[in-house]
Structure 1
Amino acid sequence: MSAHTQTAEKGQNTALMCQESYVCSGTDEAIFECDECGSLQCQRCEEELHKQQRLRNHERTRIKPGHVPYCDSCKGANGNIMHNSATSSRQRAAVRCQMCKINLCVECQKRMHAGGNKRKHPITIYNVGKPQEQDEEDGMDEETKRRKMTEKVVSFLLVDETEEIQVKNEEDFIKRLDCTPDQHLKVVSIFGNTGDGKSHTLNHTFFYGREVFKTSPAQESCTVGVWVAYDPVRKVVVIDTEGLLGATVNLSQRTRLLLKVLAISDLVIYRTRADRLHNDLFKFLGDASEAYLKHFTKELKATTARCGLDVPLSTLGPGVIIFHETVYTKLLGSDHPSEVPEKLIQDRFRKLSCFPEAFSSIHYKGTRTYNPPTDFSGLRRAIEQQLENNTTRSPRQPGVIYKALKALSDRFSGEIPDEQMAHSSFFPDEYFTCSSVCLSCGCGCKNSMNHAKEGIPHESRSRCRYSHQYDNRVYTCKGCYERGKEVSVVPKTSASTDSPWLGLAKYAWSGYVIECPNCGVVYRSRQYWFGNQDPVDTVVRTEIEHVWPGTDGFLKDNNNAAQRLLDGMNFMAQSVSELSLGPTKAVTSWLTDQIAPAYWRPNSQILNCNKCGIPFKDNDTKHHCRACGEGFCDGCSSKSRPVPERGWGSAPVRVCDSCYDNRGIQLDVSEPQTDEEGGTLIARKVGEAVQSTLGAMVS
């Protein structure tokens, strides 16, 4: 007997062992007492036993330090008193018979185990003196203390309906939560359709029915944006969200806001009052999982590294509890006693081709409300069990929670165009990816929003197509490519080593050049008298690149290269002017006519300004409008604008006043018809003329 007493003394308070031995073989510490099973049970035995259909509705209570179970013999199947006791109430057990596996009070032990073979059964003695009564009183005081701790809890708006954070900074967030900066907390959020009682559920689950989160019987939703409160009892940040399927504007932005809340949560409650689980629930969770893995996991890890946080933010996604309340229908799994509800939920996900891989766990908790009010005790126990599990989601300081939400809000923000809204997914890629579109092929950028701030260029999953309007070809040196390098090259008027005089002469004689920084000049367009090959066939490779808004062109048009050189430097006029003004004008005018674009009116035909009609004198400068090609005086052609349709690129060039005023009207430019042979003959004549003129002036 003394040995049993020593065992009992060692087993007091926290050392009560599991009495079921269903899974653990009686080696684990007891956590729950099931009144209907009549035993103390460890965590594993309690879960496995009550998965069975016939045991599912048993009432279990979590045992406290110094707990002593009731006598099993004093109550019948319905808990009725079986014999007349002195107190006319259920008695606490004094011993437990290890052979019979029942708990017995002093009277029942004398009556049932005083004689016969049962007298030799091994027993364990419970301590049922005054300390136990004191423990019960302390338990009542603890409950009262918990209620008192939540009396001053208030909620506040954290994020409004436009995704703007309503707290100033991290310190303001901690102050409004009314917690200390070094506390380690978990985050619990709730989702569901509008009007399903999300705020009511949080009030009764965490705050003993106090209206911490506002509720209303009106048709309009009383929760707009994201509201937050702190539960000091469980050390939990509780988040209330706006309902789905509500009559709201900016629906896409509000839906994106829900995923940001989900991403920072450790536990998500999906509340539904539908008598049968709708596909919307599975579609929402499936799409949320896909968007979390695609967009948020990477950003949360980057936030961990950027902020130097010790706690990882995304080992796995949050756990999910589906809280299902019915009135007229049975709970999920009632018709399938051999299958647990979680297995049926996974089957529903699979049938809808939704795969919630991001969530660390998905649990089902149902309650059937025959008569109000709703019983939230089962949900409360399930939440507490999940919060105690730190294997996948660890508690973290409130500053870490704020930084994670701030990083996600900064990253994924901005308006969502109506044409980019996708109704087949709750969280389509358009919510989080760059909105830029290629001007040539129309494909969108695949990178996240605001990636340009980090110096990351636009990218697309598909290849682009060539557009003559944008000439989106890129040349790379073939020789460098064969040596393992990719070097871009562009056609130029002259080589980098040529002087302006020599470069113009060579251009007029041999055409444009393609110069590689490593290989030098690899191609001249008119290097030989005949038989010049296309550079693509010999020295360069061609690639087609996307044309993103705001980017420069690719290969510059060389049809006007000589004229650009004359416009930029005007070296011919400056050099020849030292000899005489007449030869300067003659040479400049004639040379300009020879190498001018085909749509320009020749200088010899321009006698008056095309706008004001003033006649040109010999010393007056005739200016060509780069848009219409007519000749104007200096006063009527002083403005400039880009003329890409004429091959002048995106840089501003001289235009007349009329073309400047009509800059919003697109010119109808026909495709230029170039004659290679004629162009070669003209270039030779120009080269000979330049050489003879220069020789005559030098001599």
Structure 2
Amino acid sequence: MSSSLLKEVGELDINTENCKSFLLVDENETLQVMEEESFLERLGIPSNKAVKVLSIFGNTGDGKSHTLNATFFNGHEVFRTSETQDSCTVGVWAAFDPSLSLILLDTEGLLGATSKQNQRMRLLLKVLAVSDMVVYRTRAERLHNDLFRFLGNASQAYLKHFTSELKAMSDRCGLEVPLSSLGPALLVFHETSNTKLLGCDSRTPGGAEQLLQKRFHQLSLSTEAFNSVEYVGTRTTLPPTNFSGFLEVVCRRASNTSTRSRRPPAIVYNVLKALSMRFNGEITDDRITTSSFFPDEYFSCSNVCLSCGARCTKNMNHLKDNVAHTAKSRCRYTHQYNNKVLICRVCYERGLEVAVNPKTSASTDSKWFGLATYAWSGRQHWIGNQDPEGSVVRPELRHVWLGNEAFLKDNSNGTQRVLDGVNFAIQSVTDYSRGPTKAITAWLTDQVAPEYWRPNSQITECHQCKKPFEDGERKHHCRSCGEGCCDVCSTKTMSVPERGWGSAAVRVCDDCFRTGGNSTDVAGKQLEAAREGRGLMARRITEVAQSTLDAMTSAVEYPLGIVKDVARPDYWVPDHELVKCHHCEKPFAGTTAKHHCRACGLGFCSQCSPELRPVPSRGWDHPVRVCVDCSEKKGEL
């Protein structure tokens, strides 16, 4: 660099005596400047001024802030420094050097004590991504491996997670060269006291840069994300440190536009804002599976398939762009989640993907006939297709992502329609006998139970203590794993939202209570036996119907609370939340019946829900109870 240019830089530095840095991003990764106008005002930059960005990294106590002050501001304390070994920089601080048109970003030290180490490392990569020059400042007699691992891991994470987001940003900003194709220049600024600088030995071929690349290669690391790697060394035997060599390299890099051109400062702000919005959120230590400085857990989606355990491969917050979860591996079927989807074969051959759902009855069937058909053919009865998987549909196994209501809640209104049909049948058959039989109770419970519950006929002993069930002894289903247990082994209650039970506490077995209900591999070996048992459903129903028809009365004692919980459609307000009629606001007393409107799902008293109308939009093909508000609506519900 010429002496005239150095003199000009020094004169401009003197004029920046009153310049102060400001906090740009705090330790929680929160951007402290909300608008780009405020960003420009805090830096003192006109909007049409083209700039480059220089960021500095390094360990705590190696003099990053002092380096920026001495190099660009003639020693004035624009960035706060401390005489102690503790870090005085928390978050990311910014200032502007008008002589070189450089936005300077000072980062927190890598060895600084913080309770959010994971968030800090992710923040450093965001700063690196918006920089044109990256300076790694180290003050040591030798270059340690941590320096190479940090930069190598940063390069890998930059290419893997940030390139697509930066490319999208460059397209939106109208840049001719995508930001992702040309990464920043890397400057390793090394200060020693007693040892020689790297590459000063004339016998070393290739100089310091080749030695740096050799060290990266020995550690199986790459610097592919950086457009160049350059070593700058200074040896300090007596203070002060000589920063002229470092300033000369920075000036040369700042004026070089062959790889990266200057850009409006608003683009710098918008890119940092976009990265802050994309990559954010808490990172728990138990998610970190590698010793890398920038593991995938910092930047990738945290959702895991509940069925097979596969991790989502998308970047963080991809659902904001309406991009669904994906996994590299194929899923496995788990009967608790019933994650098999049936696709119409004809539509699939035409390039469409249309999921097909079973129906318990046709719209032209009466309640009697629909109930009989459902009971005779099992809950997977298909109208017009007795064997759909071999003819008109193709099965696919889908991943079960947390929050995917399609799999986690198996509470379609099909079971409620069956319950309505049973009530209709019970009310029609009167006074044949006194009290129901246990066979009817067990059968009815199995019909409306979730897919992951073990059928009563297969429960011969307690799943926990292995004690055989005696005649008349109550069998309880754990709402978490679906196994049958005795009273003693299922005394605990807890919320099981992942099974569709909402936030209310429900009965679970002691094992699931201790483990928090994380038992996802239940009864895998007995799945085939369960399928074979369902194949005999028609004969069992025939025998039960013939032997117990005389015993049916209007007072069938099936477990009503369980049936209502299982059969309740997703859009219905739970019974325990119904304290008054939604229309007349009359409180529900102990004798006041609660009725759900089949159209809106809200709770009403008998006087406010007297009408019967079909609600095809909700799957009710026959006339069902609706409230006065929905009944007054014109057109088809």
Counting only pairs closer than 5 Å after superposition, residues 585-596 of structure 1 correspond to structure 2 as: 596=444
Separation in 2 of the partners of 1:625 and 1:546? 29
Distance change in 2, residues 1:555/1:586 (3 Å):
farther
Give the aligned residue type for 1:321: L
Distance change in 2, residues 1:352/1:512 (3 Å):
same
Separation in 2 of the partners of 1:557 and 1:298? 37
Of 39, 52, 56, the residue aligned with 1:173 is 39
Secondary structure of the structure 2 residue equivalent to 1:303: helix
Separation in 1 of the partners of 2:181 and 2:60? 31
Secondary structure of the structure 2 residue equivalent to 1:359: coil
Distance change in 2, residues 1:164/1:493 (3 Å):
same
Separation in 2 of the partners of 1:557 and 1:431? 33
Q: Which has the larger radius of gyration?
A: 1
1:489 CA drift (Å):
3.0
Q: Quick check: 196-205 or 664-673, which moved more? A: 664-673
Q: Which residue of 2 aligns with 1:361?
A: 228
Alignment deviations for residues 667-689 of structure 1 (CA, whole Å, 9 cap, x no partner): 99997866467532244468999
Of 122, 146, 163, the residue aligned with 1:297 is 163
Alpha carbons 2:360, 2:370 under 8 Å: kept: yes
Q: How many residues are aligned here?
A: 502
Distance change in 2, residues 1:302/1:470 (3 Å):
same
Q: Which residue of 2 aligns with 1:523?
A: 386
Separation in 2 of the partners of 1:379 and 1:487? 63
Separation in 2 of the partners of 1:182 and 1:667? 57
Of 333, 343, 358, the residue aligned with 1:476 is 343
Give the aligned residue type for 2:318: H
Separation in 1 of the partners of 2:157 and 2:534? 56
Of 212, 221, 227, the residue aligned with 1:345 is 212
Separation in 1 of the partners of 2:153 and 2:213? 15
Q: Which residue of 2 aligns with 1:542?
A: 395
Q: Which residue of 2 aligns with 1:243?
A: 109
Secondary structure of the structure 2 residue equivalent to 1:522: coil
1:492 CA drift (Å):
3.5
**Structure 1 length normalisation: TM-score?**
0.62
Secondary structure of the structure 2 residue equivalent to 1:549: coil
Q: Quick check: 334-343 or 373-382, which moved more? A: 334-343
Secondary structure of the structure 1 residue equivalent to 2:184: strand
Q: Which residue of 1 aligns with 2:635?
A: none
Alpha carbons 2:477, 2:508 under 8 Å: kept: no
1:416 CA drift (Å):
0.6
Distance change in 2, residues 1:433/1:328 (3 Å):
same
Q: Which residue of 2 aligns with 1:462?
A: 329
Alpha carbons 1:266, 1:319 under 8 Å: kept: yes
Separation in 2 of the partners of 1:592 and 1:473? 30
Q: Which residue of 2 aligns with 1:214?
A: 80
Secondary structure of the structure 2 residue equivalent to 1:219: coil
Counting only pairs closer than 5 Å after superposition, residues 198-213 of structure 1 correspond to structure 2 as: 198-213=64-79
Give the aligned residue type for 1:416: I
Of 374, 380, 384, the residue aligned with 1:507 is 374
Secondary structure of the structure 2 residue equivalent to 1:299: helix
Secondary structure of the structure 2 residue equivalent to 1:190: strand
Q: Which residue of 2 aligns with 1:572?
A: 424
Alpha carbons 1:495, 1:521 under 8 Å: kept: no
Alpha carbons 1:563, 1:595 under 8 Å: kept: no
Separation in 1 of the partners of 2:269 and 2:404? 37
**Structure 2 length normalisation: TM-score?**
0.68
Secondary structure of the structure 2 residue equivalent to 1:493: coil
Distance change in 2, residues 1:481/1:659 (3 Å):
same
1:588 CA drift (Å):
11
Alignment partner of 1:681 is 2:517: no
Q: Which residue of 2 aligns with 1:329?
A: 195
Give the aligned residue type for 1:442: G
Of 415, 424, 432, the residue aligned with 2:291 is 424
Distance change in 2, residues 1:487/1:339 (3 Å):
same
Secondary structure of the structure 2 residue equivalent to 1:199: helix
Of 149, 154, 157, the residue aligned with 1:283 is 149
User: Percent identity at matched positions?
Assistant: 50
1:248 CA drift (Å):
2.5
Alpha carbons 1:320, 1:359 under 8 Å: kept: yes
Of 556, 572, 582, the residue aligned with 2:430 is 582
Distance change in 2, residues 1:212/1:465 (3 Å):
same
1:294 CA drift (Å):
1.2
Counting only pairs closer than 5 Å after superposition, residues 595-674 of structure 1 correspond to structure 2 as: 596-597=444-445, 650=500
Q: Which residue of 1 aligns with 2:361?
A: 494
Separation in 1 of the partners of 2:506 and 2:189? 71
Counting only pairs closer than 5 Å after superposition, residues 7-406 of structure 1 correspond to structure 2 as: 61-62=2-3, 142=8, 145-306=11-172, 312-335=178-201, 336-406=203-273
1:490 CA drift (Å):
3.9
Q: Which residue of 1 aligns with 2:307?
A: 440
Give the aligned residue type for 2:401: W
Give the aligned residue type for 2:137: R
Separation in 2 of the partners of 1:286 and 1:152? 38
Separation in 1 of the partners of 2:170 and 2:91? 26
Separation in 2 of the partners of 1:315 and 1:216? 38
Give the aligned residue type for 2:538: T
Alpha carbons 1:204, 1:376 under 8 Å: kept: yes
Unaligned runs of 5+ in 1: 1-31, 33-60, 65-138, 525-534, 602-623, 630-639, 692-699
1:512 CA drift (Å):
4.9
Secondary structure of the structure 1 residue equivalent to 2:385: strand
Separation in 1 of the partners of 2:83 and 2:359? 75
Separation in 2 of the partners of 1:494 and 1:652? 28
Separation in 2 of the partners of 1:371 and 1:584? 108
Q: Quick check: 187-196 or 501-510, which moved more? A: 501-510
1:417 CA drift (Å):
0.5
Distance change in 2, residues 1:661/1:294 (3 Å):
closer
Give the aligned residue type for 1:357: E
Give the aligned residue type for 1:523: Q
Alignment deviations for residues 190-241 of structure 1 (CA, whole Å, 9 cap, x no partner): 1111111111111111111112112221121111111111111111111111
Q: Quick check: 581-590 or 187-196, which moved more? A: 581-590
Separation in 2 of the partners of 1:391 and 1:206? 23
Q: Which residue of 1 aligns with 2:596?
A: none
Alpha carbons 1:472, 1:553 under 8 Å: kept: no
Alignment deviations for residues 619-671 of structure 1 (CA, whole Å, 9 cap, x no partner): xxxxx999899xxxxxxxxxx999999xxx73689x9x995999996799997
Distance change in 2, residues 1:237/1:561 (3 Å):
closer
1:586 CA drift (Å):
9.6
Alpha carbons 1:641, 1:651 under 8 Å: kept: no
Give the aligned residue type for 1:156: F
Distance change in 2, residues 1:679/1:362 (3 Å):
same
Separation in 2 of the partners of 1:356 and 1:319? 10
Separation in 2 of the partners of 1:401 and 1:252? 24
Separation in 1 of the partners of 2:494 and 2:364? 31
Q: What RMSD, in angstroms, separates the aligned Cα atoms of the two structures?
A: 4.3
Distance change in 2, residues 1:553/1:625 (3 Å):
farther
Separation in 2 of the partners of 1:679 and 1:556? 24
Q: Which residue of 2 aligns with 1:52?
A: none
Secondary structure of the structure 2 residue equivalent to 1:523: coil
Distance change in 2, residues 1:349/1:497 (3 Å):
farther
Give the aligned residue type for 1:364: Y
Secondary structure of the structure 2 residue equivalent to 1:248: coil
1:523 CA drift (Å):
2.3
Alpha carbons 1:186, 1:236 under 8 Å: kept: yes
Separation in 2 of the partners of 1:296 and 1:493? 49
Give the aligned residue type for 1:548: W
Secondary structure of the structure 2 residue equivalent to 1:445: coil
